[in-house]
Structure 1
Amino acid sequence: MEILSAEQIRAWDQYTMEHEPILSIDLMERAAASCLSWLERGGYLDRSFSIYCGKGNNGGDGLALARMLSALDCPVTVHILEFGNIGTEDFQANLARLHSSPVEVRFVQGPEHFHPIPPDDILIDALLGSGLNRKLEGVTAQLVDHLNASGNEIIAIDIPSGLFVSKSSKGNTAVRATHTLSFQVYKPAFLMPENEAWVGEVHILDIGLHPGYLSQVQGEAELLDAAIIGAIYKPRKSFSHKGNFGHALLVAGSYGKMGAAVLAANACLRTGAGLLTCDIPRCGYSILQTALPEAMLVMDPDECIHTAVPDSPDKYSVAGVGPGLGQEPPTVAFLHQLLQRYRKPMVLDADALNILAAHPDWLEMLPPYSILTPHPKEFERLFGPSADDYGRLDKAREQSRRLGVIIVLKGHYTFVAMPGGKGYFNSTGNPGMAKGGSGDVLTGILTALLGQSYSPGEAALLGVYLHGLAGDLAAEVHSQEAMLPSDLTANLGKAFQIIQKS
C-alpha cells in the first residue's frame, strides 16, 4: 500500500473526479457515508454527537456526516469555526443541505462561544484536515485545547486537526483523537511515534478513489501488506536440497549472553536455512549443542569472547553478526578482521552496531547490500541525533544511499530504508515484542532469508513482516504482556502458512 502526501491525495481526488467521473461534492458524500458506516459498525449510533467543523472541505465532510446522522435520529449539534471567509463551495453546499434538517448549528468566533460539552457526547473533529500548513494559533488552538480538556471520546476525520501530514508537529497544539478515520491510504503522520498520542487508533476507509492513479505516482514510502509479501515469498521446489537454502554463519554470544545466540540460531533454522554454523566462544559449546542439535559449531579459542575469525569465512552464504557479541577489545578487533575478510552481504545487529558506532570509519567497509537492524538509540549512536521522527527517517534514507546498505530501523512500524531511496513501513507486530531478545530473533530470520534465494531487499522486507506476524500470533496465544521472544520463533511456522496463502 502506497503512503501518500497530502498533495498526492488531493491529486488522487482530482484524478477520480476526472476519470470516473464524479463531482467533488459527491465524492465528499462518499467520504461521509464511509464514516457513518464505521460509526454504525462500532455501535455508536445510540450516542449523541458534537461535530466541530472548519469551513474547508474537511468541514464539509463533517456537515455531510451530521446530516446523515440526523437522518438516523441521532442527536447532533454542529459547531462551525468562523475564519471570516465564506467557506469552500462544497462546504457551502453541504451547509445549505444541513439547514433542511433539525440539526442545531452554532457558530464559533471566539472563546466566549465555546459551549459546555455534554459529557456523553462523541466529538467529531472536522476542523482542518490534511491541508494544514502552519501550526494552530489563536481561537483555533484554544478550541482544540477546549476539546482535548473535555475528556470525551474524539473521532477525527482525515487527520487530527493540528497535525501536519509530512513533517513534524512536535510542540504544536493538535486534537488528541481516540480514533482517526482516514481515507484510502495511510498518511506519513500516522506512522510516526511522536504522533501516537494524537492519532489514536487509525482506520483506513475505502471511498472508491480511482485505482488508475496509483500506477502514475510514487508515494513517499509503502506500507508492507499481504499483497507485497505474497509477491516476494518463494515456495520451495519439490527437488530442492539443503544446498539450495544457504549455509549461514551466525557470529553470536559471549559469557553470560549465550541466550542471544540460541534465540538467533533457532530463528535462523526455523526460517529455513539449509545449514547453520554458529561461531561462538568455548563457554557456549554445551549450551548450543543441547539447545539446538541441528546447528554446527565453530569454537573460538577464547573461553568467553570472540577473538579469531573462522577459517575461510567466504565459504558461508551469509553472515549474521552481533547478538550477545560483547564489546571487549579483542572482540572489536575480531569484527574489524571479519569486515576485511567477508565480502558478501551481512546482517549486523546489537553489539556489532555498537562497535561500528565507536568506529564510524568502518561503516565504509560494510559489504554492499548488508542489512543493519538498529533500534532508535543504536541508530542515533551510529549516525547522530535527529530533531524528530521525520528527520530520523530522512537520515536513514540518506545513510542507506551513502553506504549502499539496507537499514532496518526497528519500532512499532519498523522502517526499511533501501539504497535506491525507497522506504517501507512494516504493518505487522505489536508492543509485546518490546522485550530483550526480539531483535536476536529478527537477526536469525534475516540471516536465513539472505542466505536463500531472496535478494537483500526481499529478505529485509519479508523478514520484518514475518517477524511481526509471528509476534502477532504469539500475542493472540500468550497476550502482549506474557509473550516471550522465543514465542516468536515458535510461531514462525504459522506465519509462513499465512504468507503462503497471500
Structure 2
Amino acid sequence: MKLFSKEQIYEGDKLTTERQKITSTDLMERAGIQIFNWIHTRMQGAQVPIHVFCGIGNNGGDGLVLARHLVTHGYNVVTYIVNCSDKRSKDFLINYDRIKNVSKEWPKMLSCKNDFSEIIIKEEDIIVDAVFGIGLNRPPNDWVKALFEQFRVSKAFTLSIDVPSGLYTDKVVEDEKNVVNANYTLSFQTPKLVFFLPETAKFTVQWEALDIGIDRDYLINTDTEVELISKHEVLPLYKPRQKFSHKGDFGHVLILGGSYGKIGAVNLASKAALSSGAGLVTAYTPKCGYQSLQSAIPEVMVVTDNDETHISNIDFTIEPTVTGVGVGLGTSARTAKTFEAFLKTNKTPLVIDADAINLLSKKKALLKLLPEQTVLTPHPKELERLIGKWSNDFEKLNKVKEFSKKYNVIVLIKGANSITVYQDKLYINTTGNPGMATAGSGDVLTGIISGLIAQGYEHLSATIFAVYLHGKSADIVLEDYGYQSLIASHIIDGVGKAYIDLFKQPEQSKEAEQQAEPKQQ
C-alpha cells in the first residue's frame, strides 16, 4: 500500500473532483458518510452519547457531515465547534448550514472564552475528534490544548478523523499535550507515515484506512516515498519452485561469525537460512563452534578458523552465493583486522549484521569496500554508531536515506515497524509483535535475508520479503508461546508456516462484507 504525503493527498483530492466532475463538498460528503458507515456498523443505533468536536477547516467539515448523519439516524449526539480562529473553510461553512437544518440543537460554539466546564463527558461516552487534519502546521493554542486535556481526563473512547488532532504528518510535535490521544483513527484512503514511527505512533492505538473513492489512476500511477508492506505486497515477490529443481538452484549461503560464547548466533542464522529455502549453508566460525554446529544442525556444513575462540583468519575454498557476516563475531583487534582483509578480497553479495556493523562504525573508510546493495541490519544503537545521533525520527530517516545513497546500500531499521530503506524509498513492515524483543531474533533475520538472496531474490526484494516472513512467523508461533516465552528458535520453526500463510485466503466476515459496499445516505 502506498502512503501518500500531505501534498500528494491534496493533489489527489483536486484531481478526483476534476475527473469525477464533483465538488470538494461532494467529496467531503463521501468521506463523512464513510465514517458514519463505520460507526453505524458497530453501534447499530446504540444510544451511547457521542460528542463530535469539529474544527473550522475541512477536518471539521468532515466531522459536521458525520454529525448530521448521526442526528438523522437517531443517535444521541452533541456537536461542538472548536472556534480556534477566524479562517473557516468553504466546505466547513456549507456543512455548518446543513447540520443546522436537521437539528433543533445547533452545534455548541467553543472559543477561548470557554473554560469547558459546561462540557460533561463520561468515561462510557464516545468522543469524535475532528478538530485538526493533515494541514496543521503550528501548535494549537493553549485553550485548545486544554480541551485535548479534557478528552484525556474523561477516559472516553476517542475516535480521530484522518489523524489525531495536533499531530503533524511530516515532523514531530514539541509538546505531547498538544495532540489528541486516539483509541482509533480513521484515515482517509491510506494511513499516514506518522502512524508507524516510535515518536508519533503512540498517539493512536489503532488505525484503519477508509476508501473515499480517490481517483484510481492517480492512486495507481503516483509514486510515493513510502510503501506499507503486507501480504498483498510480498506475494508477487514469491518465487515458486520447479519440479526438477535441485539444491544447487537455490544458492549457497556462508554465515561468517561467532566467537567463544556466541556460537549460538551462527547456529540461529544458519538454521534460518536453511529454513528460508537456501540450497546449501556453510558456517565459518572459530574452532569452538565446530561441535556445536555439527551437533545442532546436521544439515549445515562447517569450516573453522585456526583460532579457538575468535575469527582471526578468513580462508575458505567454497564459492558462496551470498555471505551473511557479523553475528556473534566480536570486535577484537585481530577480528577487526581480519574483517578488513575479507572486505578487500570479497566478491560476493553481503548481508551485514551486529559486530560487523560495529566494526564498520569504528572504521568508516571500510564502507567504501561494500558491494552495491549490501544489506545492513542494525538495531537502534548500532544504527546510531553507523550514522551518528539524531534528534527525532524524521531526522533519523533522512540520515539513513543519505547514508543509503552515499554508499548504495540497503539499510534495515529494525523495530516495531521495521523500515527497509534504499535510496529515497521507505518500506514499512506490518508483521511482528513485542515477543520478538528477544536475544537472537536479529540473527534469525540475517539468516532469512541471506537465504532469500541465495535463491535469486533481488537484494531489496529479499530484505522486504524476509522482514515480512520473520514477523509473520513470530505472529503465528505467538499463539503457542505468548510474548514472554517466545524465543528466536521459535521464529525459525514458524518460517514454513509463514510461507504457507501467503496462499491462505482470509475469511471475509459479515462486517467486512458490509463495509465493502459503502452505503450512501
Same structural fold, with TM-score higher than 0.5 when normalized by the shorter chain: yes
Contact 2:378/2:413 (<8 A) preserved: yes
Match of 2:219 in 1: 214
Match of 2:152 in 1: 148
Letter in 1 for 2:165: S
Letter in 1 for 2:14: Q
Match of 1:187 in 2: 192
1:426-483 CA distance string (max 9 Å, x none): 1211222111211011000001111111111111111111111112112233223322
1:351 aligns with 2:352: no
Contact 2:84/2:112 (<8 A) preserved: no
Contact 1:250/1:277 (<8 A) preserved: yes
Contact 1:111/1:143 (<8 A) preserved: no
1:162 aligns with 2:166: yes
The alpha-carbon deviation at position 101 of structure 1 amounts to 2.1
Query: Where in structure 2 are there 5+ consecutive unaligned residues?
Result: 506-521
Contact 2:420/2:426 (<8 A) preserved: yes
Match of 1:247 in 2: 252
1:1-47 CA distance string (max 9 Å, x none): 11111121121112111222333222222222222232244448522
Match of 1:62 in 2: 63
Contact 2:234/2:465 (<8 A) preserved: yes
Alignment of 1:287-326 (within 5 A): 287-312=292-317, 315-326=319-330
The alpha-carbon deviation at position 103 of structure 1 amounts to 4.5
Which piece of structure 1 moves more, 158-167 or 67-76?
A: 67-76
> RMSD over aligned Cα, in angstroms?
1.8
1:329-350 CA distance string (max 9 Å, x none): 2211221121112132200111
Match of 2:511 in 1: none
SS in 1 for 2:147: helix
The alpha-carbon deviation at position 102 of structure 1 amounts to 4.2
Contact 1:107/1:113 (<8 A) preserved: no
Match of 1:490 in 2: 493
Letter in 1 for 2:11: A
Alignment of 1:454-465 (within 5 A): 454-465=457-468
SS in 1 for 2:107: strand
Alignment of 1:329-348 (within 5 A): 329-348=333-352
Match of 1:370 in 2: 374
The alpha-carbon deviation at position 414 of structure 1 amounts to 1.0
1:136 aligns with 2:137: no
Letter in 2 for 1:52: F
SS in 1 for 2:485: coil
Cα 1:486/1:104, change in 2 over 3 Å: farther
Which piece of structure 1 moves more, 475-484 or 405-414?
A: 475-484
Alignment of 1:380-395 (within 5 A): 380-395=384-399
Which piece of structure 1 moves more, 468-477 or 154-163?
A: 468-477
The alpha-carbon deviation at position 501 of structure 1 amounts to 5.6
Contact 1:49/1:76 (<8 A) preserved: yes
Letter in 2 for 1:366: L
Match of 2:518 in 1: none
Find the partner of 2:228 among 223, 227, 242. Answer: 223
Match of 1:440 in 2: 443
Contact 1:79/1:108 (<8 A) preserved: yes
Cα 1:365/1:75, change in 2 over 3 Å: same
Match of 1:27 in 2: 27
Cα 1:29/1:244, change in 2 over 3 Å: same
Distance 1:191 1:101 in 2: 39
Distance 1:201 1:102 in 2: 34
1:88 aligns with 2:89: yes
Contact 1:176/1:199 (<8 A) preserved: yes
The alpha-carbon deviation at position 352 of structure 1 amounts to 1.0
- Paired residues in the alignment total 500
Find the partner of 1:177 among 182, 188, 205. Answer: 182
Match of 1:476 in 2: 479
SS in 2 for 1:110: coil
Alignment of 1:385-424 (within 5 A): 385-419=389-423, 421-424=424-427
Which piece of structure 1 moves more, 360-369 or 51-60?
A: 360-369
Cα 1:342/1:501, change in 2 over 3 Å: farther
The alpha-carbon deviation at position 495 of structure 1 amounts to 1.0
Distance 1:492 1:21 in 2: 49
The alpha-carbon deviation at position 104 of structure 1 amounts to 4.8
SS in 2 for 1:154: strand
Contact 2:400/2:411 (<8 A) preserved: yes
Distance 1:358 1:219 in 2: 35
Cα 1:284/1:148, change in 2 over 3 Å: same
The alpha-carbon deviation at position 111 of structure 1 amounts to 5.2
The TM-score normalised by the length of structure 2 is: 0.92
Letter in 2 for 1:479: G
SS in 2 for 1:178: strand
Match of 1:53 in 2: 54
Distance 1:61 1:458 in 2: 39
The alpha-carbon deviation at position 91 of structure 1 amounts to 1.3
Query: Where in structure 1 are there 5+ consecutive unaligned residues?
Result: none
Contact 2:256/2:325 (<8 A) preserved: yes
Cα 1:307/1:443, change in 2 over 3 Å: same
Distance 1:368 1:258 in 2: 29
Contact 2:188/2:209 (<8 A) preserved: yes
Distance 1:451 1:500 in 2: 23
Distance 2:104 2:416 in 1: 44
Letter in 2 for 1:36: F
Match of 1:15 in 2: 15
SS in 2 for 1:193: coil
Give the percent of matched residue pairs that are identical in Structure 1 and Structure 2: 39
The alpha-carbon deviation at position 164 of structure 1 amounts to 0.7
Contact 1:344/1:368 (<8 A) preserved: no
Distance 1:478 1:349 in 2: 27
Contact 2:2/2:226 (<8 A) preserved: yes
Letter in 2 for 1:71: T
Which piece of structure 1 moves more, 212-221 or 5-14?
A: 212-221
The alpha-carbon deviation at position 500 of structure 1 amounts to 4.4
Distance 2:321 2:370 in 1: 16
Match of 1:274 in 2: 279
